[in-house]
């Protein structure tokens, strides 16, 4: 007897029953029916969409819902897990969702969408605990399948997970989620090759100046920008410009505490930039390190960095000096 490969429709149809079987006994028949409707709505909306792994997209919200069930979250949160990408990725508007599932679930999905779209601490502060819980369990499934991303994204996502997502999961009481997030992120960072190119190294180095609370959200935004730039040289230049502007960005983000840490940082920056010797000694060391690390993987890329990076560094130093009102560097006596 000959068989056939399962179609995407077969895959979608085979997901709902195992999901419902996973629900604890205390879920009522009405709640189970609501979760089934949420699944069917999401499956229709995501039809034809696939993940980077090649799997039908609906497998992702189902996996997020399974994690939500295992974490002991309530019916509304499980429904929102199934629906969490329909507004952002399928063109479904909030009014349609509200008509189908009511205000509570719609608000959760909207909050998740807002957390994905905005890259600032204010969005995190404004979100309630259930929305944040959805965010971290969404990240958990994405970390479980992170091998389908390129190595730079794997590094940045893993570092962001260690810095923000795992601690956030712990604060929410999702200890198992926090432990798995941390375990996957550390393993990924440990096993990725060390010489993946200058882009990640520059961003990771520069982002250390930013406050921890916003570092991950900025890295996430920069990942989106990098994804548009397919040429390696353009990606490297973009990362270098970001690194050059990082001190000024850090000053802006830390402005509420300018009389303490920011004041010291500003004074230190002025002292460094006041002479060419103090400015270019660490930058030359950094440039040499980047060239050596990149040359291990590609001599051609190392030559590109040697040609393109010094002018970018010079332009950045000049702009930063102008921003700080330093003018020309002091001449040695």
Q: Which of 31, 55, 74, 89 is catalytic?
A: 89
Q: Which of 31, 88, 163, 180 is catalytic?
A: 88
Let me know if 89 is a catalytic residue.
yes
Tokens of 288: 């040499």
Let me know if 150 is a catalytic residue.
no
Q: How far apart are CA 190 and CA 107, in angstroms?
A: 38
Neighbours of 231 (CB within 10 A): 9
- C-alpha dihedral sign at 91, 93, 96, 99: positive
Q: Which residues, at least 6 apart from 135, have a Cβ–Cβ distance to it below 8 Å?
A: 112, 115, 127, 165, 168
Q: Which residues, at least 6 apart from 94, have a Cβ–Cβ distance to it below 8 Å?
A: 87, 106, 109, 110
Tokens of 45: 């909306």
Q: How far apart are CA 280 and CA 285, in angstroms?
A: 8
* Residue with token string 């520069």: 206
Residue from 318, 332, 301, 64 nearest 202 by CA: 301
Cα angle 253, 225, 55 (rounded to 5 degrees) comes to 120
Residue from 72, 132, 79 nearest 103 by CA: 79
Q: How far apart are CA 111 and CA 281, in angstroms?
A: 47
Q: What is the DSSP string of 217-231?
A: HHHHHHHHHHHH--S
| Residues that are catalytic | 88-89
């Amino acid at each position: 007897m000959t068989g056939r490969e399962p179609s995407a429709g077969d895959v979608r149809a085979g997901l709902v029953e195992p999901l419902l079987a996973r629900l604890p006994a205390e879920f009522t028949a009405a709640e189970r029916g609501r979760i089934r409707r949420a699944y069917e709505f999401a499956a229709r909306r995501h039809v034809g969409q696939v993940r980077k792994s090649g799997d039908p997209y609906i497998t992702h919200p189902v996996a997020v819902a399974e994690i939500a069930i295992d974490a002991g979250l309530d019916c509304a949160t499980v429904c929102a897990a199934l629906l969490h990408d329909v507004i952002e990725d399928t063109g479904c508007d909030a009014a349609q969702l509200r008509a189908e599932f009511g205000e509570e679930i719609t608000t959760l999905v909207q909050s998740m969408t807002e957390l994905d779209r905005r890259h600032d601490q204010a969005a995190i502060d404004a979100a309630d605990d259930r929305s944040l819980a959805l965010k971290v369990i969404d990240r958990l499934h994405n970390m479980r399948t992170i091998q389908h991303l390129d190595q730079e994204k794997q590094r940045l996502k893993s570092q962001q997970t260690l810095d923000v997502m795992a601690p956030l999961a712990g604060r929410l009481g999702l200890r198992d989620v926090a432990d798995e997030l941390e375990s996957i992120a550390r393993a990924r960072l440990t096993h990725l090759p060390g010489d993946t190119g200058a882009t990640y190294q520059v961003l990771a180095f520069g982002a250390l100046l930013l406050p921890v609370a916003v570092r991950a959200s900025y890295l996430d935004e920069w990942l989106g920008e990098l994804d548009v730039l397919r040429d390696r040289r353009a990606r490297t230049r973009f990362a270098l410009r970001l690194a050059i502007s990082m001190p000024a960005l850090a000053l802006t983000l830390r402005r509420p505490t300018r009389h303490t840490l920011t004041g010291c940082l500003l004074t230190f920056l002025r002292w460094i930039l006041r002479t060419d010797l103090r400015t270019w000694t660490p930058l030359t060391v950094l440039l040499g390190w980047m060239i050596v690390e990149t040359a291990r993987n590609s001599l051609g890329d190392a030559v590109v960095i040697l040609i393109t990076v010094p002018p970018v560094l010079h332009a950045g130093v000049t702009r930063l000096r102008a921003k700080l009102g330093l003018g020309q560097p002091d001449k040695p006596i």
